[in-house]
């Protein structure tokens, strides 16, 4: 099925919680992330365009959209 555009709960068997980019952003609140959206976009740009990156890209893209709502 792939990863939905509106990122949601982490599925069983996912290794997303161990991904360095997830760990980097998951400990920050959305208000803090709003001032660093350029860094999130930059991190998306470093991801390989393959299926292994899909889950972290979905998460990072979700962050960009959410912080856009509060910026």
What confidence tens digit (pLDDT) does each residue in 17-31 have?
A: 999 999 999 999 999
Task: State the chain's mean pLDDT as an integer.
Answer: 90
Question: Is residue 54 over pLDDT 60?
Answer: yes
Angle, nearest 10°, between helix axes 37-46 and 54-70?
Answer: 160
Whether the pTM exceeds 0.85: the reply is yes
Based on DSSP, count helices (H) and strands (E) in the chain, helices before strands: 4, 0
* Confidence category of residue 1, pLDDT binned at 50, 70, 90: very low
Q: Which residues contact 50 (CB under 8 A, 6 or more apart)?
A: none
Query: What does the pLDDT read at residue 36?
Result: 93
């Amino acid at each position: 099925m792939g990863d939905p555009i509106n990122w949601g709960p982490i599925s069983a068997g996912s290794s997303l919680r161990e991904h360095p980019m997830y760990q980097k952003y998951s400990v920050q609140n959305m208000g803090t992330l709003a001032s660093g959206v350029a860094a999130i976009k930059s991190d998306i740009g470093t991801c390989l365009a393959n299926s292994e990156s899909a889950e972290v890209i979905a998460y990072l893209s979700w962050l960009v959209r959410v912080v856009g709502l509060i910026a």
